[in-house]
């Protein structure tokens, strides 16, 4: 398998690449991760079952779109495929774990990425995944419809199959036009899964975002997620707001947008996320 991956890398870069060293990298939630190098060049590889190749394809295309925006550093994807029953994705290796204070630059770089828009509306070129859950992205004209159908209703449907009980879900879906009234965001290129585990700093002190669930959506979804499990440092928000100020009403929409991730967490992990989601729904309907 590793020889085939090395050949794929050689074919893509046009330079001979033979693996000299391979070591596993910890910290991922879903895939097995490795660094491979030939003494001169290093690559980051993730592996999963062959059936998961579409997930890697979507990740590579999402990374490409963010990379091409030239706004914020993401690993440059190289290739993906299947071999011997495994799916793989290959991307640029980044020396992470820098200690520089990169939160300010991260805020302004994310704001710059959020200025990138799409004339096709809200959505993306294909379904991707949020955690291990499919995330549908059919192009949709309005944010209200996209968020209601492709985000909330989709997760409620999956949660229902898992036995989740959200007694006020229909009430919430009906209240969305009010909750989003007078909010008309432009479609923005978003990371889609921006918790602290997906933000890092290179050894040179450059901020990086990893492992995206890319689409064109309301930029506030990324800000909201940075606040879901404890906030990023204040320098991040100061720089973001200086570059691209948030609009009034964000405090309420933040709850609405994080509800998507909390229901998804119920779908992935079960447990107390159901009660947390119900508390958020109550808050929104108050
Ligand atoms: P998973 O898809 O399994 O959640 P991640 O994409 O989050 O995996 O990667 C796992 C870990 O590997 C990250 O937390 C990060 O520390 C490291 N990592 C991710 N991408 C790179 C990269 N391009 N270069 C070096 N290390 C990386």
Residues 155, 159, 165: CA angle, nearest 5 degrees: 120
Same domain for 243 and 164:
yes
Q: Are residues 80 and 162 in the same domain?
A: no
Please give the Cα distance from 8 to 30 (Å, whole number): 23
Q: What CATH number is given to the structural domain containing 17?
A: 3.30.200.20
Residue 86 forms part of a structural domain: yes
Q: State whether 60 and 138 are in the same domain.
A: no
Average pLDDT over residues 183-207: 96
Same domain membership, residue 120 and residue 60: no
Report pLDDT for 249: 96
pLDDT digits (tens, 9 = 90+) for 203-219: 999 999 999 999 999 99
Distance 35 CA to ligand 1 centre (A): 10
- The minimum-distance atom of ligand 1 relative to the CA of 94 is 24
* Final residue belonging to a domain, choices 71, 92, 113: 92
Which residue's C-alpha comes closest to atom 23 of ligand 1?
A: 93
Residue 216 covered by a domain: yes
Same domain, 167 and 269: yes
Compute, in angstroms, the gap from residue 144 CA to the centroid of ligand 1. Answer: 33
Centre of ligand 1 from the C-alpha of residue 12, in Å: 21
Q: Which residue's CA lies nearest to atom 1 of ligand 1?
A: 28
How many domains, in total, are found in the chain?
A: 2
Same domain assignment for residues 110 and 78: no
Whether the predicted model's global pTM rises above the 0.85 cut = yes
For 74, the domain range is 2-92
Q: Which of 38, 68, 193, 222 is catalytic?
A: 193
The CATH number that applies at residue 190 is 3.90.1200.10
Residue identified by tokens 């989601």 is 277
- What is the Å distance from ligand 1's center to 174 Cα? 39
Final residue before a domain boundary, out of 92, 127, 155:
92
The answer on 39 and 151 residing in a single domain is: no
For residue 118, what are the CA distances in angstroms to 74, 126, 191, 216? 20, 14, 14, 7
Residue 206 domain-assigned (yes or no): yes
Among residues 162, 28, 176, 136, the alpha carbon closest in space to that of 89 is found at 28
90 has which bridge partners?
45, 79
pLDDT at 97: 86
**Are both 24 and 145 inside the same structural domain?**
no
> Does the annotation count 193 as an active-site position?
yes
* Helix, coil or strand: residue 83: strand
In a domain, 156, yes or no: yes
Q: Is residue 98 part of a domain?
A: no
Same domain, 49 and 136: no
Which of 71, 70, 63, 69 is closest to 92 using CA atoms?
A: 63
Q: Which of 27, 60, 92 is the last residue of a domain?
A: 92
User: Which pLDDT belongs to residue 247?
Assistant: 96
Q: Which residues pair with 189 in a beta bridge?
A: 216
> Which residues contact residue 217 at a Cβ distance below 8 angstroms, ignoring those fewer than 6 apart?
122, 143, 146, 147, 185, 187, 188, 190, 192
pLDDT tens-digit series, residues 53-109: 999 999 999 999 999 999 999 999 999 999 999 999 999 999 998 877 899 999 999
Question: Is 90 exceeded by the pLDDT of residue 28?
Answer: no
One domain, residues 71 and 18 = yes
State which of 94, 96, 213 you would mutate to test the pocket of ligand 1, scoring each by most atoms of that ligand within 8 A of its C-beta: 96
Residue 97 lies in a domain: no
Rounded to whole angstroms, how far apart are CA atoms 78 and 91?
5
In terms of domains, do 86 and 109 share one?
no
136 part of a folded domain? yes
The binding-site residues of ligand 1, defined as CB within 6 angstroms of any ligand atom, are 25, 27-31, 33, 44, 46, 75, 91-94, 96, 197, 210-211
* Together in a domain, 241 and 281: yes
């Amino acid at each position: 398998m590793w020889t085939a991956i090395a050949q794929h890398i050689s074919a893509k870069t046009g330079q001979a690449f033979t693996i000299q060293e391979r070591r596993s990298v910890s910290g991922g939630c879903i895939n097995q991760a490795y660094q491979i190098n030939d003494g001169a060049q290093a690559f980051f590889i993730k592996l999963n079952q062959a059936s998961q190749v579409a997930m890697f394809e979507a990740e590579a295309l999402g990374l490409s779109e963010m990379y091409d925006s030239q706004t914020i550093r993401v690993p440059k994807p190289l290739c993906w495929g299947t071999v011997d029953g495994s799916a793989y994705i290959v991307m640029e290796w980044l020396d992470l774990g820098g200690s520089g204070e990169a939160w300010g630059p991260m805020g302004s770089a994310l704001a710059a990425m959020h200025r990138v828009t799409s004339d096709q509306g809200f959505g993306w070129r294909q379904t991707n995944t949020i955690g291990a859950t499919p995330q549908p992205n059919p192009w949709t004209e309005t944010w209200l419809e996209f968020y209601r159908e492709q985000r909330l209703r989709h997760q409620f449907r999956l949660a229902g199959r898992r036995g989740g009980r959200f007694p006020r879900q229909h009430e919430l879906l009906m209240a969305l036009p009010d909750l989003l009234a007078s909010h008309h965001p432009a479609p923005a290129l978003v990371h889609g899964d921006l918790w602290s585990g997906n933000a890092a700093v290179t050894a040179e002190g450059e901020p990086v975002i990893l492992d995206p669930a890319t689409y064109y959506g309301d930029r506030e979804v990324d800000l909201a997620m940075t606040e879901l499990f404890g906030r990023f440092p204040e320098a991040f928000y100061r720089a973001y707001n200086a570059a691209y100020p948030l609009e009034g009403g964000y405090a309420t929409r933040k709850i609405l947008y994080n509800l998507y991730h909390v229901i998804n967490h119920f779908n992935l992990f079960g447990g107390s996320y159901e009660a947390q989601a119900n508390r958020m729904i109550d808050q929104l309907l108050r």
